[in-house]
Amino acid sequence: MSCPDQIQFVSSVSQVGSEEWDHLAGTLNPFVSHAFLQALEKSGCVGERTGWIPYPLTIRDSEGRLVAAAPSYIKLHSKGEYIFDYHWAEAYHRLQPGLDYYPKLQVAVPYTPVPGPRLLVSSELPKNQQQKYREKLLNALREQAESVRFSSAHITFCEEVERTTAQESSGFLSRLGEQYHWFNEGYENFDDFLAALTSRKRKNIKKERRKAQSHGLEIHTFHGSELTDSLCLQFFRMYEKTCLRKWGQPYLNLAFFQEIAARLGDRLVLFLVRDTDGKWIAGAWNLRGDKTLFGRNWGCLRDYDCLHFEVCYYRALEYAIEHGLEKVEAGAQGLHKIQRGYRPRAVHSAHFFEPGPFRGAIEQYLLSERLETEFRLEALTDLEPFRRD
């Protein structure tokens, strides 16, 4: 008689071998790679002090092989998630006096609103076995939430098949959100992309690019293998200043950027801007998967008209076209991205609460929110700047 699968929550992704983890994660989405998750841990960007306590879920088969895993965390707050539930926490306290919403169990990539796989399963398994292990991961999350008395379990920015499985097999509630992604329709260069737009939008983009280029600045592209500690420090100072000015305390630190440059090599794509005095004054960091360029953070020491659009959007599109990538994802929010060629797309999450009045209230809220989001996505499609002929 064969031994059952071993299902275990561990305290660090470092307790799992990088090769076996990455065998499950694949190379399409670098944010679920062992290197990225370990960089967050090693730099101290996650841990008890930050309210993101690593708690990876692993499943090994009877021969000890890692066949499924999930990047999960014990969350002490709702910061850094981008699919927010602050108002749920407030309602939880009101409806259930004496009970705490935190800690909760969260399957996510910290500080990263990038859709991708969250229930990592070996692609070498037959399809029905892959589905079985997704369900095992989901059931383990649900059972852990119930046994440890977490208020809830959440899977954010997951793939649609994961959301569907969570809803249909494990009693999770489904949530729908939106982002804006750019798609490469076989463009040979940036002018090809512009030709696909309406005349007015095409003129507007050309005008913005002329403004950005009128400041006499130089924009350079670096990959991780080309970065020095000095360049990492320069970008971190830009990122830190921008965060402190706009959003408060930055989530990421200098050690994280240095770890990413060292661990992910040419998957890191950094656009850096130098002024006429030779000083680095702005930049945007991106990660590259097999088919997608993922834009993450922008930072600047001085403001220049339209420079943000040039560095974060147009240079990213040019890079994707030049390197034959299929898509650019530029993170959360940003209705203004539509007029620059980004298209509205649905993003998914799944949420588990034990049966009761609170779960019922959340279920009704999510149904109403979903109808509104579906209507909004359909309406936003009409605003896309592409020619209709």
| Residues 166 and 201 placed together within one structural domain of the fold | no
| Residues 60 and 198 placed together within one structural domain of the fold | no
Cis peptide before 385 (omega within 30 of 0): no
Please, which pLDDT band fits residue 37 given cuts at 50, 70 and 90? very high
Q: Is residue 204 part of a domain?
A: yes
Strands 57-60 and 6-9 turn out to be: antiparallel
Q: Is residue 122 part of a domain?
A: yes
| Residues 171 and 296 placed together within one structural domain of the fold | no
Using the CB atoms, write b or e for 339-365: b if 16+ within 10 Å.
Answer: bbbbbbbebbbbbbbeeeebbeebeee
Q: Where are the alpha helices (DSSP H) in 196-351?
A: 199-213, 229-246, 254-264, 307-308, 315-322
| Residues 302 and 361 placed together within one structural domain of the fold | no
Tens digits of per-residue pLDDT, 167-196? 999 999 999 999 999 999 999 999 999 999
Residue 176 CB partners (closer than 8 Å, separation 6+): 346, 347, 348, 369, 370, 373, 374
| Residues 153 and 291 placed together within one structural domain of the fold | no
pLDDT value, residue 225: 93
Closest alpha carbon to 387 in 202, 185, 180, 206:
202
Please, which pLDDT band fits residue 388 given cuts at 50, 70 and 90? confident
| Residues 200 and 292 placed together within one structural domain of the fold | yes
pLDDT of 302 > 80? The answer is yes
- DSSP class per residue in 24-35: HH-SS-GGGSHH
Per DSSP, the three-state class of 165 is helix
pLDDT of 2 > 60? The answer is no
Q: What is the CATH number of the domain that holds 164?
A: 3.40.630.30
Could you give the angle at the alpha carbon of 354 between the alpha carbons of 87 and 142, nearest 5°? 105
Q: Is residue 341 part of a domain?
A: no
Q: Which two tokens stand for residue 243?
A: 């965060």
| Residues 152 and 189 placed together within one structural domain of the fold | no
| Residues 278 and 373 placed together within one structural domain of the fold | no
pLDDT value, residue 98: 86
Please, which pLDDT band fits residue 1 given cuts at 50, 70 and 90? very low
Q: Which of 107-111, 242-246, 271-275 has the lowest mean pLDDT?
A: 242-246
| Residues 137 and 10 placed together within one structural domain of the fold | yes
Q: Which amino acid is at 193?
A: F
Q: Is residue 232 part of a domain?
A: yes
Question: How many whole angstroms separate alpha carbon 334 and alpha carbon 330?
Answer: 9
Tens digits of per-residue pLDDT, 303-355? 999 999 999 999 999 999 999 999 999 888 788 999 999 999 999 999 999 99
pLDDT of 291 > 60? The answer is yes
pLDDT value, residue 369: 97
Q: Which amino acid is at 144?
A: Q
| Residues 149 and 24 placed together within one structural domain of the fold | yes
Q: Which residue segment(s) compose the domain that 246 sits in? A: 185-325
Q: Is residue 1 part of a domain?
A: no
| Residues 232 and 318 placed together within one structural domain of the fold | yes
Q: Which two tokens stand for residue 51?
A: 């309210």
Per the prediction, the chain carries an average pLDDT of 95
- Averaged pLDDT for residues 295-306: 95
Quote the number of domains for the chain: 2
Question: How many whole angstroms separate alpha carbon 257 and alpha carbon 254?
Answer: 5
pLDDT value, residue 249: 83
* Helix/strand/coil percentages in the chain, nearest 5: 45, 25, 35
Closest alpha carbon to 140 in 359, 362, 352:
352
Cα dist from 145 to 12, 60, 169, 386, whole Å: 18, 21, 16, 46
Share of the chain above pLDDT 70, in %: 99
Q: Is residue 333 part of a domain?
A: no
Strands annotated E in 5-127: 6-9, 52-54, 57-60, 66-70, 72-75, 104-107, 120-121
pTM of structure: 0.96
| Residues 96 and 121 placed together within one structural domain of the fold | yes
Q: Is residue 335 part of a domain?
A: no
pLDDT value, residue 247: 72
Please, which pLDDT band fits residue 126 given cuts at 50, 70 and 90? very high
pLDDT value, residue 333: 79
Q: Is residue 15 part of a domain?
A: yes
